[in-house]
A and B are shown apart, each in its own frame.
Chain A
């Protein structure tokens, strides 16, 4: 495997996968304060023609117990379940996803440039 046009396909699949990953990360961040929310995790896998995302899974880690007796969801001890989202982990994940996206974009641009150089050889 290794060819100019298949490289374009690999790079664009890579960009798509990273942006889908970023979507799940932003869903997690947006729901960091939602009671009972479990963060979504997704992993990459190689499929024919490029990289793709595997099935989305929920992180089974126990949610944070928040003490707030005035909250309508609070139990007898005054606690309720928050979410299991760790903002630091999510932000690091978002950084990595956007870095991966940029790397794929750079490669895409380089391959496009090489292809265009080849075609310009045909010009006078």
Chain B
């Protein structure tokens, strides 16, 4: 049945990504009027997991790859600058915030359901 509990790790990673994303969005919105401020966005979640994930380099095939938690960097959002140099678009931030909240809820839902499955398997429901 469960040979590895990857589902928990993935759900945790998505929730963590959504939380960090929301933190960056909060900073962007707070600085919507700061001259020269450039909006930052967290790398998309798919960039760190699945097929696109950078695997750890091993110098010999026999070396184990730890497969640690994916690291996401904050990148410039690349939006147009206003005359005072500010690149925050409040509408874009609201959209991104809604996306982050939705992803957070999805992750917690998956986590809760997987936990329920595990409990059921253990005979404790």
Interface centre among B23, B30, B37 (most CB of A within 10 A): B30
CB neighbours (8 Å) of A92 from chain B are none
B29 & A117 in contact (Cβ 8 Å cutoff)? no
Find residues 88-107 in chain A having any chain B CB closer than 8 Å to their own CB: 96, 99-100, 103-104, 106-107
User: What mask results when residues 59 to 103 of chain B are scored 1 for a CB within 8 Å of chain A, else 0?
Assistant: 000000000000000100000000000000010011001000100
Number of B positions contacting A (CB below 8 A): 31
Q: Does B7 contact A (CB under 8 A)?
A: no
Given contacts A121-B108, A121-B111, contact A107 B20 (CB under 8 A): no
CB neighbours (8 Å) of A34 from chain B are none
- From A43, A50, A96, A110, B22 is in contact (CB under 8 Å) with A110
Q: Does A45 contact B (CB under 8 A)?
A: yes
Determine chain B's interface SS by DSSP, over half rule.
helix
Closest to B27 in A: A10
B29 & A104 in contact (Cβ 8 Å cutoff)? yes
Q: Which residues of A contact B (CB under 8 A)?
A: 1-4, 6-8, 10-11, 13-14, 17-18, 21, 43-46, 50-51, 96, 99-100, 103-104, 106-108, 110-111, 113-114, 117-118, 121
